[in-house]
Every structure is written in C-alpha cells, then in structure tokens.
Amino acid sequence: MNSAKRLSIIVPSFRDERILEAIASIRAIDDVSAIRIVVIDGGSPEPLVARIAAVLTDDDILVSERDKGIFDGLNKGLDQVDTDYMGWLGSDDLYSGEVKASEVIGQLEDADLYITSMAFFRGDRIRRITHSWPASKGLVTLGLHNPHYGTFGRSGLLKSERFAIDDPISDQIYFFRIFDKKPRVAWTKKVGILAGEGGFSNSSYGKALALNRLVFTAIRRHRNIFAAIVGVAAKVGYKGSMRLWFKLRRITWPQRFPIAHRAMLQARQPGRP
C-alpha cells in the first residue's frame, strides 16, 4: 500500500444512534490511519451530534445541517472528499472486518472500482448475501448487484456524478452512469459490508413491488425493454433464492463476522460517548 494514499468513508445519518456502531466498525479495521470518516448528519438533535463528534478525530469531518434526504447527504459527502479513494457506509450498517483499508487502497492503485459482496442481516441472522461478481461483469446496468455501499472507488470517478435527491432509485441510476464510463473493475468474493435489512424496499411486499417497477423503468430507459424484463426477473429470483438459502441454513452474523460484532458491542458499552 502506498502510504500517501488515503480512503474517505462517507456516512450519511439522521437521528440514528446506530451510527456510533457504524463508526466503531470502521475503527475496528487494523489500519485505520489510512481512513478519514466523513459524517453528513441531516440535522439531528444536539446531544446525538455531540456523541458523534466525540468518537471522531480531528482529521475526520462532521457536517450537521438540514438536508433533503439521504441522496442530498451523499452529494454533500462527495463535496467533502479530498482523498484519492473513497467509499460509503450507511448509519445502520457495519464493516464486516473481512476487507481491510490496505486491501482496498492496494486494489484501487490499479483499478477504478473495487467491489465487495454485501451481507444483509436482521437481528442476529444473515438474511441474504449479494455477491460482487455480477457487477464485475458489467451487469449493474441490468440491475444485478447495485453495489452502492459495497463499492469503493477512485474519488475522481465517483465524484464525477451526483445523486438525484428526489428519485428513490437514484443510487441505481448513479451507478448506471458510473459504469457507462467503462471503469476498470476489481472485485472480491469477501463480504465488505453488513447492511441492516428493513428499509423501504423490504418493509412490505407492496413497497418491494413498487421499487422493482421503478428499477424496471430505469433499466428500460437506460437499455431497452428486453434488458429490463431480464434484469428485474433475475434480480427478484436471485434475491428470493438467497433468502431461502439462508433461511434454511440459519447462519448468525455475529459468528460469521466477529470483528464487526465486537465493534458493535464496544459502541454499546455504558459510559461511551
């Protein structure tokens, strides 16, 4: 790893105390001196903002002000990044501990994007894993493995696009545009991110259907109607099969990812900021 190269991690948040666990999982990486944390808070109550500030260093960045939602926050984070490389982490997500900062930086010295797999969890159970290989084959434009928080990249590339703040699938469209630039892609089967399941797309079958309709429209506009049909069908089938697989296997994420689990428990200790 080139010691002069650094990695910024954007963490958007609003009224979510789990961000303290997310930050702790970043600190658990063995070479944290290579990382700058960029917290974009949407205007949370002052006591929570103070607790966030207490676990950041002078080298990290904290912006706390009203915004227009998560995509507005991500855009503000992009504006703050001044390191060679960058990534992102949701406030309800954790770094797994399987992928180190030195590995990310080393891969990005010869690639534009480094894509990891993502494990989705609810409670202590892994619900599904979204693997990285489809994105490495350019299948993101078919809606397969929208990489978002599982992707790290060269800052110049990722800062060249912005998120539409009023579009619920803005992250999908953002990566369509990134992949249109024909980036050099490196990937790993290892899980980089543990993502909390239960957001908009998973809260009900109706919302999942509505989101897939939006994804269908986005792919059709970007490619064609045949690609949209194939992409959405493959995405739904893959997601369903993964959920069934992990329902049968009943794997707990604290056992599979002990580094992330220890970091979460540490953040929850009484007396910590």
pLDDT in tens, 248-271: 888 899 999 999 999 999 998 876
CB-based burial label for 219 (10 Å; 0-12, 13-18, 19+)? buried
Q: Which sign, positive or negative, has the C-alpha torsion 192, 197, 164, 16?
A: negative
Does residue 226 belong to any structural domain of this protein? no
Of 37, 28, 154, nearest to 100 by C-alpha is 28
Does residue 223 belong to any structural domain of this protein? no
Of 62, 37, 67, nearest to 51 by C-alpha is 62
- Tokens standing for 146? 């929208």
Of 213, 258, 266, nearest to 97 by C-alpha is 258
Phi-psi region of 123 (alpha: psi -120 to 50; beta: other; left: phi over 0): left
Q: Tell me the pLDDT of the chain averaged across its residues.
A: 87
Residue 23: in which H helix or E strand, if any?
A: helix 19-27
Strands 125-130 vs 94-95: parallel, antiparallel or unpaired: unpaired
The residue type found at 202 is N
The confidence score (pLDDT) of residue 1 equals 42
Reported as a single tens digit per residue, the pLDDT across 62-73 is 999 999 999 999
Percent of the chain with pLDDT over 70: 90
Reported as a single tens digit per residue, the pLDDT across 7-64 is 999 999 999 999 999 999 999 987 778 999 999 999 999 999 999 999 999 999 999 9
pTM of the entire structure? 0.88
Does residue 233 belong to any structural domain of this protein? no
Does residue 1 belong to any structural domain of this protein? no
Does residue 156 belong to any structural domain of this protein? yes
Does residue 113 belong to any structural domain of this protein? yes
Reported as a single tens digit per residue, the pLDDT across 182-228 is 999 999 999 999 998 765 444 445 556 676 777 777 777 777 787 77
- In this structure, what DSSP letter does residue 243 have? H
- Tokens standing for 257? 């990812």
What number of CA atoms fall less than 13 Å from residue 54's CA on the CB side? Answer: 11
CATH, residue 88: 3.90.550.10
Does residue 191 belong to any structural domain of this protein? yes
Phi, psi of 35 (to 5 degrees): -115, 140
What is the residue range of 112's domain? 7-197+252-267
Does residue 242 belong to any structural domain of this protein? no
pLDDT at 89 over 50: yes
Number of domains in the chain: 1
